[in-house]
Amino acid sequence: MKVKTKLLKAHNVAIAKLLAILGFTSCLCAGCAKYGVPEAEYIVNGQVVSKETLEPIENIRVSTYDGYMFTDNEGNYQVSYLGGDKGATVCVEFRDTADQYRDLDALIEFRDGEKIKTFNVGMTPNDNDN
C-alpha cells in the first residue's frame, strides 16, 4: 500500500513538471492553507530575463504566499517565505502585469539547513493564444 502511494505521488510530481512546461503552475497545492508553525525564513532571489532576447525584465511581479515584489530595472528580485525549520517547498509565481510574458510558476525545494536559493528565470513572450 505504501509503495503504491509512493508511486502515485511520484507520478504526480512528474505531472506537475509537465504542467510547468506547458506554462501552468506546478504549485498544485495553491489555494490550500499554509501549514505548520513558521520557524524559519526561506529566501529565493535571482534575475528574470526574456527567454527570447536574454534582456532583463523589469516590473515582473514575483510572489510567495507571504508577499510579493516587482523586479527592478536589472530584473532582480528577492522574496521570502516563512515555514517549518525542517525544510520547505516554496511556490514562487512570476507574473507580468503588462501581459507580455507568459505566467511562470516554480517550486523551490529547501532541504534541511538550506535557507537561501538563487533561481534565475527566463520568461517566454506571450503568444496570445487566449
Smallest gap from residue 93 Cβ to another protein (A): 8
CB closer to another protein, 34 vs 116: 34
What letter represents residue 74's amino acid?
Answer: E
Residue 72 touches another protein, criterion: CB under 8 A: no
CB closer to another protein, 19 vs 106: 19
Site string for another protein, 45-64 (x = CB under 8 A): ----------------x-x-
- CA distance linking residue 128 with residue 122, whole number of Å: 18
Measure the CA dihedral 108/40/49/99, to 10°.
Answer: 90
Q: 57 in helix, strand or coil?
A: coil
Return the C-alpha cell found at 81.
Answer: 517565505
Residue from 45, 56, 68, 117 touching another protein (CB under 8 A): that is 68
What letter represents residue 10's amino acid?
Answer: A
CB closer to another protein, 59 vs 118: 59
Instruction: Kindly indicate which of the ranges 7-15, 43-51, 72-80, 109-117 contains the residues binding another protein, using the contact rule CB under 8 A.
Output: 7-15
- CA distance linking residue 94 with residue 38, whole number of Å: 24
Residue 24 touches another protein, criterion: CB under 8 A: yes
Residue 31 touches another protein, criterion: CB under 8 A: yes
Residue among 63, 114, 65 nearest 93 (CA):
63
